[in-house]
Amino acid sequence: MLASVVLLLLAVLLFLHLFQTHRAKNFPPGPRPIPIFGNVLQLNLENPIADLERLAKRYGNVYSLFFGPRPAVVINGLQALKEALVNKATDFSGRPQDLMVNHAVQVKAHAPGVILADYNSAWKEQRRFGLMTLRNFGLGKQSMEQSILGETHRIIKLLEQCKTMNPQMMFHNAASNIICQVLFARQFDYEDEFMKFFVGVFQETSKIINGRWGMIYDSVPMVRNLPLPFQKAFKMFKVCLEARLEVLAENKKTRVPGKPRHFIDSYLDELDMVGDDGSSFSEDQLCAYILDLHFAGTDTTANTLLTAFLYLMNHPQIQERCQQEIDDVLGGKDEASYEDRHQMPYVQAVIHEIQRMADTVPLSVFHCTTKDTELMGYSIPRGTMIIPNLSSVLNEEGQWKSPREFNPENFLNEQMEFVKPEAFMPFSAGSRMCLGEALARMELFLIVVTLLRRFKFVWPEDAGEPDYTLVFGTTQSPKPYCMNVQVRKTVP
């Protein structure tokens, strides 16, 4: 009997030794991990944001967690985030390459797209091309305005046909259609199977990848081949790849080299020029790039719009004040222009406050260190996973007049002029800042202004109290809701 107990204790000690996790000297502090799981069981896997805030109060704005045996550093607050992402951008611009999101969306290991690609010369080459091409196809120009306004008119027709509706699919379809015009110059009917499939994939996989099963996948590698719910995301992204290959094949049939119609044509032109001589350009990389831009250009904007009308309906005085400013500035003009934002300080403040409250990408996309470095006095080795808690800075005490409340005055000075505080970073910051920030800002302004000009949005009487709780995921979204729509103005 004694021998059995001794053997059991030895087995337990061996187990603990094999799976021990420890913090290196001068590594950021944090809660004590447990074998195999690290700290993952100490977090609310449905939504860890409150737990991350609690840990920051205990350990400071730079602390560490273990996902299984793998250490990660969580960065909170403006000072620490600015030091890491801006002042030491090169040190903190890597991407971890062994997470569920990498395995799910990559076409091949050498074709990671641009969002998930590690920080290297290939990523710089791809990002430079993306920024240039997006500008060439109207980003920030009047041609893009017309694409956004055209899609907004489709929304108007839908709203004119109903008094009450759930806007969730409508905003996702609209945002998807706008980025699809950039990617392959196509608009889809909202009932089109291609549109419905991709919008559905984006909504569902966002919750899986950063949800409970995604955390388990990232923390306990031994379960990765088991038939658990995260396998659904892999199956969905496999079908995504097949659909992207079909789109690519269709575009090749009608393509005229040297006369690009959209992003795909431009990429293929670049591929023709560089050939296979050590370039990062490839058709596999193009397929990954398309998914990056389609996903990022759909879910974030749609969820921000959903947040916008949830708040506007339940703050009617703010909605009315926006409408008054819109009416005063636009007068008899047929349509709004993005330049009109400079004459609408209050509307700008409201839209930015909506983005702050929407907190659409609360943990950004995880970074990793590219070399041994320091942050706020702590030593962080090369290859350490970094979690930028953008949610912490968007709600940070001392950075906002009303950090926990919806208040447009967070973006207005004493003269009621629009100002953008340094702590406003919903698109992240530094060299990894969102590639489509300019497009998103233009979409939000033109869609919100155009819809508020024509309609009054009212919270249904039978809907009870509004629930502002966000559903956590790679991108956060409000819970589904309905809105009543009343025509307020007919524009020529």
Tell me what pLDDT residue 17 has.
41
User: Which H helix or E strand runs over 465?
Assistant: none
The residue assigned the tokens 């079908």 is 239
CA angle 459, 465, 470 (to 5 degrees): 90
The band of 187, judged by pLDDT with boundaries at 50, 70 and 90, is confident
d(CA 72, CA 442): 35
- Is a pLDDT exceeding 80 seen at residue 12? no
Listed in sequence order, the DSSP H helices in 19-93 are 49-59, 78-82
Tell me what pLDDT residue 185 has.
84
pLDDT tens, position by position, 63-110:
999 999 999 999 999 999 999 999 999 999 999 988 888 888 776 666
Task: Tell me the whole-structure pTM to 2 decimals.
Answer: 0.92
The amino acid that residue 64 corresponds to is S
The residue assigned the tokens 């309906």 is 313
Q: What are phi and psi of 443, to 5 degrees?
A: -60, -50
Tell me what pLDDT residue 103 has.
86
Tell me what pLDDT residue 11 has.
44
With a pLDDT cut of 90, the percent of the chain lying above it is 60
- Is a pLDDT exceeding 80 seen at residue 18? no
- Is a pLDDT exceeding 90 seen at residue 338? yes
Give the Å distances, CA to CA, from 374 to 76, 80, 284, 382: 15, 11, 36, 10
Kindly list the structural domains of the chain, giving each domain's residue range(s) and its CATH number in brackets, ordered by start. 81-358+406-487 (1.10.630.10)
How is residue 293 written in tokens?
């831009």
d(CA 1, CA 6): 9
CA angle 328, 331, 332 (to 5 degrees): 170
How is residue 26 written in tokens?
């001068």
pLDDT tens, position by position, 431-483:
999 888 889 999 999 999 999 999 999 999 999 999 999 998 888 999 999 99
pLDDT tens, position by position, 300-331:
999 999 999 999 999 999 999 999 999 999 99
